[in-house]
Amino acid sequence: MSLLVLIHVLSAIIGVGPTFFAHVLVRPDQTPAQLRESLALAKKLEFFPKVGGSIAVLSGLILVWLGDYGSFMQVWLFGSLILYILIQIIVVAIVTPKSRRVHYWVQLDENKQATALPLKQEQLLKSVNTWFYVASSLGVLLFILMILKP
């Protein structure tokens, strides 16, 4: 059981961890060239939430099923799952489409020499950054619930 707990904790840290750095990578005060590099790095980091987050959810559900944690409807347990789902919705449904549009713009050959983002791209980037702050905040709450559980 302790090995499963270890797997769960490590996968949660690895899975949610990149979310805490994403708003640094997509900050609005970058040139298009800097943003191109940041978005490429952010794309590489996407792997960790996909794999780590999936393992964290599966191992968490197995822990609840095998362990003596009580009712699934406890605030810390149900709340943790809801927070994780909200983070996934924010990243997959809100952030990813917007960041793809910015990524597409900075990758276009005619924009490779640009020194600043157009207003539309800048607004998209600010929105992505804001949503990453929301996801990071929810991630902090998620870890608080998991640490302070009874």
Show the DSSP H helices in the chain as ranges. 2-16, 19-25, 32-45, 47-66, 75-89, 96-107, 119-147
Pick from 51, 64, 47: nearest CA to 146:
64
pLDDT score at 150: 65
Instruction: Return the pLDDT at 94.
Output: 94
pLDDT of residue 116: 92
pLDDT score at 141: 93
pLDDT < 70 positions in the chain: 150
pLDDT at 3: 94
What pLDDT score does 84 carry? 87
Tokens 């640094």 sit at which residue? Answer: 24
